[in-house]
Amino acid sequence: MTNRAHKDAERDARETPGEFDPEATAVLPEQGEPAKALTDAQAKAEENWNSYLRAVAELENYRKRVARDLENAHKFGLEKFAADLLDVRDSLEMGLEAGEKADARSLLAGKEATLRLLNKAFEKQAISEINPIGAPFDPQLHEAMAMQDSATAEPNTVLQVVQKGYQLNGRLLRPARVIVARAPSG
């Protein structure tokens, strides 16, 4: 290979993308600017690595915090509702203690007061009652226990509620058990 051909081959090797030529990229001590550029690049790489490590550590800490918060939410999610129910329990216990010597009227008043406490606790927790008398039957909210002939009610409407239903923030807890009206046969 001639000297000219040798130089052309070296130039082609340097210009060919994807191939690494250590002589073409080596920083020689007498070249001041490339050495500074290399030092700057190494410092930037180290800074990026440290940023990456901090981000990974921060993400791991965040995952641990979320897991701990979720665990606490499961453990103590009903804390407020349970505290509201303590008043209902206290009222029931007082009613039982007074039951032996109280008359029927005062027992009834105590039961009504206890029911008001329970309704207040339900209201605070967004538990709503489903009492659909006269409403059209809705299988999403009602459970039909029976159908009954009715000359006065519209067919497929709720004629009677056997057991009230309840929702929590619009989500069904228990369907209302109902008797549904149908047109009289005959």
What pLDDT digit, counting tens, does each position of 162-183 carry? 999 999 999 999 999 999 999 8
Give mean pLDDT, residues 26-35. 64
- What is the rounded distance in angstroms from the CA atom of residue 67 to the CA atom of residue 3? 70
CB 132 within 8 A of CB 164: no
pLDDT at 7 over 80: no
- What is the rounded distance in angstroms from the CA atom of residue 41 to the CA atom of residue 52? 16
The predicted structure's pLDDT at residue 97? 84
Give mean pLDDT, residues 66-90. 88
Scan for tokens 């804390």, then name that residue: 79
* Global pTM value: 0.59
Domain ranges of the chain: 30-77, 78-122, 126-186
Please report, rounded to a whole number, the percentage of residues in the chain having pLDDT higher than 90: 54
Q: CA nearest 23: which of 31, 14, 32? A: 14
Q: Give CATH for domain 126-186.
A: 2.30.22.10
Give mean pLDDT, residues 73-93. 87
Q: CA nearest 10: which of 22, 147, 79, 70? A: 22
Q: Please indicate whether residue 79 or residue 158 has the higher confidence score (pLDDT).
A: 158
Q: Please indicate whether residue 23 or residue 135 has the higher confidence score (pLDDT).
A: 135
pLDDT at 56 over 70: yes
The predicted structure's pLDDT at residue 63? 97
Q: Which two tokens stand for residue 122?
A: 């339900």
